[in-house]
Structure 1
Amino acid sequence: MQDALLIISCIFLLAGTIKGLVGIGLPTAAISLTTQLDVVSEPQLAVALVIFPMMISNAWQVYRGGNIVKTARQYWPFLVIMLIMIYVFAHVSASIPAESFLIILGCVIVLFALTSLFVKPVYLSDKYDRPVQIAAGGISGIMGGLTGIWSPPMVIYFLSRRVEKDDFVRATGFLIFFGSIPLFFGYWQSEIMTEAVAISSLLLTVPVIAGFTIGEFIRRKMDGGRFQKVLLIIFLLMGLNLIRKAIGF
């Protein structure tokens, strides 16, 4: 048990470092690595463990970014439908067999990597912003409730709107922070997030924040863009491996 806790702490330290370095990838790295290495009994437990580190690190990101009211006014349709879908599908997640969960998780990670690496959507004008926000928020919520990762539709949407870097960091932090709240309650009511798991998740915030600080320091010293591309390729391979593992190939 102590060995497993040490491995999980190291994974979350690495995941926090990745987020501090490139601004994305905390839940993707933490969930994919814990399931790849079989250090948790069920893949849904890996999602539960990342909830508090995800919530707290993104709260810090939102606080540092400022302009919370402006962000809320701009993206409230995305937020509302996403929150509803995350809460609903977090309950569905508890009933999904482990093999099916791994396939869904693997597909989401592959989609995350491919969209971040290669996709540059066509420009989305203000005329279509509201319906696209609702659609993207709904898809994000379904993915988030099922797997704890809801960034692919968010990334595609923000790229299509040509959002500036600072606004991108602020908006993604805002949506991930608030999205983690219904995910917590959905997992709590589904009895995946027990008291012991919640305490473990809170404690894992420590290595994540430590890693986030390390990642920010490294980012000032190196080319984060090149590292991000390598990281996304690794995520792509990990997602494909989860699918392979689930189907027993």
Structure 2
Amino acid sequence: MDVLSPIDWALAVSIAFFAGVVKGSVGFALPLIMISGLSSFLDPRLALAGILVSVLVTNGWQVTRQGPAAAKDAARLHWRYLVVVVVAIFATAQLVTLIPRQWFYFILGIPVVGLSLIQLSGVRLTIPPHRRVAAEWGIGLISGALGGLAGTWGPTTVLYLLAIETPKARQMVVQGVIYGAGSVVLVLAHLRSGVLNADTGVFSAALLPAALAGMAVGFRLQDRMDQALFKKVTLIVLVVAGINLIRKGVLG
């Protein structure tokens, strides 16, 4: 691992803290913020390694914050979505070398921005109860396919949970369960790939305290939000995330 300057360390810790605040507030976007920020001044492989420990641990905290019973209940209620996302990620990841990834940043980013802006304008997009089983399979398949091909399934998962009017506390747990399962696979994959090793692991672990401190602040902010404000803030973060995906599609 390259020796980092004090300025590099200060920037990296600040990015991890800010990402933790957003994660604690709305339950997602920590990897997006950290990888975007760190890769702007670090080697991409080191930036990727830098997010892994924080992604794994913060998802674990998010899952367990409401207690193990809440996590178990979330997994039971959304087991279809979980199963199809994991299977689709595994299956479509095998196609990454065959299809230009930039296409999928556009395919994911443009609808996320559009649907989020529509809802911010006051239009309610909801899935009625009698169609939710079909929606779980269908949207789960789309999310998993985009996860395998473009590396992110968070935005579509959040849009789905908003559309079925998931209460704030449950949404945080469900997101943690879904992202937590993915983060375990991600860490194992990069232990195998060599991205996460003895050197880069030290850097990744060093950013964890800042991410956890930020998440603690974010949790306090989240606790003060009512359901309407939580949804609005979540949609704003989705717009920013979607714009970043479009940017990655443009720049490659």
TM-score of the alignment, normalized to the shorter chain, above 0.5: yes
TM-score range, shorter chain: 0.7 to 0.9
Aligned to 1:151: 154
Q: 1:141 aligns with which of 129, 140, 144?
A: 144
Q: 1:31 aligns with which of 32, 35, 41?
A: 35
Distance in 1 between the 2:169 and 2:65 partners? Answer: 11
Distance in 2 between the 1:107 and 1:197 partners? Answer: 32
Matched, 1:15 2:19: yes
1:11-160 to 2 correspondence within 5 Å?
Answer: 11-35=15-39, 37-41=40-44, 46-66=47-67, 67-89=70-92, 95=97, 101=101, 104-105=104-105, 108-109=108-109, 111-119=111-119, 120-126=124-130, 128-160=131-163
Count, aligned residues: 239
Q: Does the 8 A contact of 1:28 with 1:109 survive in 2?
A: no
Give how far 1:166 is off. 1.7
Matched, 1:245 2:251: yes
Aligned to 1:166: 169
RMSD, aligned α-carbons: 3.4
Give how far 1:2 is off. 1.1
Distance in 1 between the 2:205 and 2:169 partners? Answer: 28
Cα distance change on mapping 1:38 and 1:87 into 2, 3 Å = farther
Give how far 1:143 is off. 2.7
Identical positions, percent: 23
User: Deviations 1:165-213 (Å, cap 9, x if unpaired)?
Assistant: 2221111111111121222233344444444444433332221101112
Give how far 1:153 is off. 2.0
- Tell me the secondary structure at the aligned position of residue 65 of structure 1: coil
Give how far 1:130 is off. 3.0
Q: Does the 8 A contact of 2:27 with 2:175 survive in 1?
A: no
Distance in 1 between the 2:54 and 2:171 partners? Answer: 20
Distance in 2 between the 1:105 and 1:226 partners? Answer: 23
Distance in 2 between the 1:202 and 1:96 partners? Answer: 34
Distance in 2 between the 1:178 and 1:163 partners? Answer: 20
User: Deviations 1:202-245 (Å, cap 9, x if unpaired)?
Assistant: 33222110111233345567876776565555445434433333
Name the TM-score, length of structure 2 as normaliser: 0.75
Q: Does the 8 A contact of 1:20 with 1:216 survive in 2?
A: yes
Cα distance change on mapping 1:102 and 1:16 into 2, 3 Å = farther
User: Deviations 1:2-38 (Å, cap 9, x if unpaired)?
Assistant: 1344433321111111122333321222223334x24
The amino acid across from 2:217 in the alignment is: I
Distance in 1 between the 2:209 and 2:174 partners? Answer: 24
Q: Does the 8 A contact of 1:91 with 1:190 survive in 2?
A: no
Distance in 1 between the 2:129 and 2:239 partners? Answer: 31
Q: Does the 8 A contact of 2:17 with 2:211 survive in 1?
A: yes
Matched, 1:208 2:214: no
User: Deviations 1:132-162 (Å, cap 9, x if unpaired)?
Assistant: 2223223222333344421122123222322
